[in-house]
A and B are shown apart, each in its own frame.
Chain A
Amino acid sequence: MSTDQVPVKSNFESEYRKMRAKRLSFIIVCAVASFVLAIYAATVGSYPISSGDVFQSILDAILGKEPEDQSIYHIVINLRMPAIITSLVCGFALAICGVVMQSMLKNPLADPYTMGISSGAGFGAALAMILGIELIAGAGVILNAFIFSLVPALVILFLSKFRNATPTMMILCGIALMYMFNAATQLFMLIADPEDLSAVYKWMIGSVDGTSMGQAAIILVVAILGTVYVQYMSNQLNMMGLGDESAKTLGVDVERKRLIMLMVVTLVAATVVSFTGIIGFIGLVAPHMVRAIIGTDNRYLIPASGFFGAFLLLISHLVAMTIAEPMVLPVGVVTSCIGGPLFLFLILRNTREAWA
């Protein structure tokens, strides 16, 4: 408390270095593991392909060379890679949306589900599939889902004109819209014929198999732009974790920045969900798991959760493909089946960390 007594030395300096090394290595490990798993995933399927051939095919595709074996190239690049890349990109994007939503709303339950994004998308998809109503003619399910998944964020934006959009208000707003969308979707499903019903149902579970390389590229571009922005904002996100008042006195324009960030992550989540359907668990749980390992500093937590989410979704995709061969399960089932128990285990095992 005063300078005259000899204090014990504080060692934050060395602690911080150690922490940074740990955080960076975690990010690198997750990134490398995702890459290796992606190569392995391309070897798995009804027609076995060696990892060397996979590597060669990818190289050929990148360099634009004429492949030696056309059929292997076709299987790897055209049949297997779209789902693999979609898994990686969507896992990354969903996890990042989860981190940002949880941090900025200071709520461990925030994710694309609780913010109403997924339900909005589900409603839009059902509208197209069951009633045949397309907001933009010919664009169908994807655009419908995309547009309706933006509704909760737009409602929050609208409400914030009249009063301050507090985190609690945002979450409650998301949940209210979630119920409304779900009720409407269920109503549609009651009157749907069995074929449409099955299609909607499958869509609701979420899957990475249906996407093309072009669609994966769209998700990738949106995810990259979103990631760059939230990474730039990550330190301000840290301040928000201290409460609005403290964040303001540390120089963060909380209300404005929170709305902008909400819009950005909503766009990213909406893009993912409209192409893949509702993939649960990744956005909620990946950030919590990573937080338990490397702490809450969003500058590291955002990329780490992203790569971890990519790895998780890809491994779920692998399980979904292989566990009930030759049937391929929707990946959403697997993420929830693996995720639920894993989450419970983490909560029970880890008493001192991340859960409020």
Chain B
Amino acid sequence: MTDDGQNRISLLLEPRVSDDDTPISVKIENVTFGYDEKIILEDINLDITEPGLVCILGPNGVGKTTIVKCINKLLKPKEGQIFVNGKDVSGMSLLDVAQILAFVPNSQPSVFSMSVAEAILMGRHPRAGWTTSERDIKIVDAAIELLGLQEFASRDIRQLSAGQLQRVLIARGLVQEPDILILDEPTSNLDVKYQMDVMRFLKAYARDKGIVVLMVCHDLNITAAYADRVVLMYDKKVFADGTPVEVLTSDNIQTVYKVDAEVSVYDGVPQIRLVPKYD
């Protein structure tokens, strides 16, 4: 690799520098969310102060995505408050939020053609505004290289497979240079190799940059292998919160998912074998 390439990549990998020395934090206080009568989240409390990879697990419909959407102001809680870097999000503009938080959606519709690189460049908007600087473009190049998207950087975003699109959306999140990167099931359309690659990358990225990566997950074993912290949700509430070993026990899995599981710990990583049932 050329020096130039290495320098560019380091643009994205340099540890986070905050303007005013605010420590990174996400604090959810007594948050309740629902539509009309239907309550989806009830009295949720969560406090994240350490950089690292935090995974939210739980059965379908438990409100995992709803929580992260409350954090980035896509949804408004009925009750309770959410603080990001110590600031109440309800008092922040969407642009203020976007300068701290990046959100990587699960998928994204697109009507008009747009190249992959241009789509990633959009992630610079909260920082760059109307203009596009040399640095913005270099950061996009860095993200393309980091996520191995060179092959289809100039392709129309509508022609990508779901898995390719997910990596593009992750790249868009990275160029936003967030303090807190939120991902909604970023590996759901990826094959096993890319799932592992993405998780390994995000874990290292959170550690090296010193930022919080908060993601909604599905796969128990992959979460167990990479997460620094696991938040397990059940019945509208946070059911368990801690390291993978603490949270992913066979009892917890039985209660939350209603399946039998055998958990054994190797090298500090819980390995979960779901016990199949046959009629």
A317 at the interface (CB under 8 A from B): no
CB distance from B198 to the nearest CB of A (A): 7
B161-203 interface with A by 8 A CB criterion: 176, 194, 197-198, 200-201
Q: Please, what's the 1-or-0 string for A251-295, where 1 marks a CB less than 8 Å from any CB in chain B?
A: 111000000000000000000000000000000000000010001
CB-CB < 8 A to B9: which residues of A?
Answer: 3
CB distance from B128 to the nearest CB of A (A): 9
CB-CB < 8 A to A252: which residues of B?
Answer: 94-95, 125
Q: Are the C-beta atoms of B1 and A295 separated by less than 8 Å? A: no
Bound-state CA distance A7–B93 (Å) is 38
Q: List 22 A-B contacts (CB under 8 A).
A: A1-B197, A1-B198, A2-B200, A8-B151, A10-B145, A12-B121, A12-B144, A13-B141, A15-B154, A103-B112, A106-B109, A242-B119, A250-B98, A251-B94, A251-B125, A253-B95, A291-B113, A295-B113, A295-B118, A296-B113, A353-B113, A356-B111
A239 at the interface (CB under 8 A from B): yes
Q: Are the C-beta atoms of A250 and B123 separated by less than 8 Å? A: yes
CB-CB < 8 A to B125: which residues of A?
Answer: 235-236, 238-239, 250-252
Q: Are the C-beta atoms of B73 and A248 separated by less than 8 Å? A: yes
Residue total for A at the interface (Cβ-Cβ under 8 A): 44
Known: A1-B147, A7-B145, A12-B137. A251 touches B109 (CB 8 A): no
Known: A246-B108, A249-B74, A250-B126. A9 touches B148 (CB 8 A): no
CB-CB < 8 A to B132: which residues of A?
Answer: 16
Of the candidates A7, A16, A108, A248, the one whose C-beta lies within 8 Å of that of B1 is A7
Bound-state CA distance A286–B102 (Å) is 35
Q: Please, what's the 1-or-0 string for A105-116, where 1 marks a CB less than 8 Å from any CB in chain B?
A: 011100000000
Closest to B176 in A: A250
CB-CB < 8 A to B153: which residues of A?
Answer: 10-12, 15
A348 at the interface (CB under 8 A from B): no
Q: Are the C-beta atoms of A241 and B111 separated by less than 8 Å? A: yes
* 4 closest residue pairs by CB, A with B: A251-B98, A251-B95, A249-B103, A10-B144
Of the candidates B130, B140, B201, the one whose C-beta lies within 8 Å of that of A1 is B201
Bound-state CA distance A295–B115 (Å) is 9
Bound-state CA distance A126–B151 (Å) is 58
B interface, size bucket: 35 or more
B interface, CB within 8 angstroms of A: 1-2, 5, 9, 13, 72-74, 93-99, 101-103, 105, 108-115, 117-119, 121-123, 125-126, 129-130, 132, 134, 137-138, 140-142, 144-151, 153-154, 156, 176, 194, 197-198, 200-201, 204
Bound-state CA distance A2–B144 (Å) is 11
A232 at the interface (CB under 8 A from B): yes
Known: A241-B111, A251-B98, A251-B99. A6 touches B198 (CB 8 A): no
CB distance from A22 to the nearest CB of B (A): 13
Bound-state CA distance A9–B9 (Å) is 10
CB-CB < 8 A to B108: which residues of A?
Answer: 242-243, 246
CB distance from B214 to the nearest CB of A (A): 13
CB distance from A125 to the nearest CB of B (A): 33
Known: A235-B125, A296-B113. A251 touches B141 (CB 8 A): no
Q: Are the C-beta atoms of A239 and B150 separated by less than 8 Å? A: no
Bound-state CA distance A243–B106 (Å) is 13
CB-CB < 8 A to A295: which residues of B?
Answer: 113-115, 118
CB-CB < 8 A to A239: which residues of B?
Answer: 122, 125
Q: Are the C-beta atoms of B197 and A354 separated by less than 8 Å? A: no
A291-333 interface with B by 8 A CB criterion: 291, 295-297, 299
Of the candidates B72, B145, B156, B204, the one whose C-beta lies within 8 Å of that of A352 is B156
A1-54 interface with B by 8 A CB criterion: 1-3, 6-13, 15-16
CB-CB < 8 A to B117: which residues of A?
Answer: 10, 12, 15-16
Bound-state CA distance A203–B113 (Å) is 36
A interface, CB within 8 angstroms of B: 1-3, 6-13, 15-16, 102-103, 106-108, 232, 234-236, 238-239, 241-243, 245-246, 248-253, 291, 295-297, 299, 352-354, 356
Bound-state CA distance A13–B145 (Å) is 12
Closest to A12 in B: B117
CB-CB < 8 A to B147: which residues of A?
Answer: 1
Closest to B120 in A: A12
Q: Are the C-beta atoms of B93 and A253 separated by less than 8 Å? A: yes
CB distance from A248 to the nearest CB of B (A): 5
Of the candidates B93, B112, B119, B142, the one whose C-beta lies within 8 Å of that of A356 is B112
Bound-state CA distance A107–B110 (Å) is 10
Bound-state CA distance A15–B140 (Å) is 12
Bound-state CA distance A78–B112 (Å) is 43
CB-CB < 8 A to A11: which residues of B?
Answer: 141, 153
Q: Are the C-beta atoms of B74 and A245 separated by less than 8 Å? A: yes
Bound-state CA distance A96–B194 (Å) is 43
Q: Which residue among A234, A238, A242, A291 has the maximum number of chain B CB atoms within 10 Å of its CB?
A: A242
CB-CB < 8 A to B140: which residues of A?
Answer: 12
CB-CB < 8 A to B194: which residues of A?
Answer: 1
Closest to A1 in B: B197
Bound-state CA distance A238–B97 (Å) is 19
Closest to A287 in B: B112
Known: A108-B111, A249-B103, A251-B95. A9 touches B1 (CB 8 A): yes
CB distance from B123 to the nearest CB of A (A): 7
Bound-state CA distance A10–B149 (Å) is 8
Bound-state CA distance A185–B22 (Å) is 63
Bound-state CA distance A356–B96 (Å) is 33
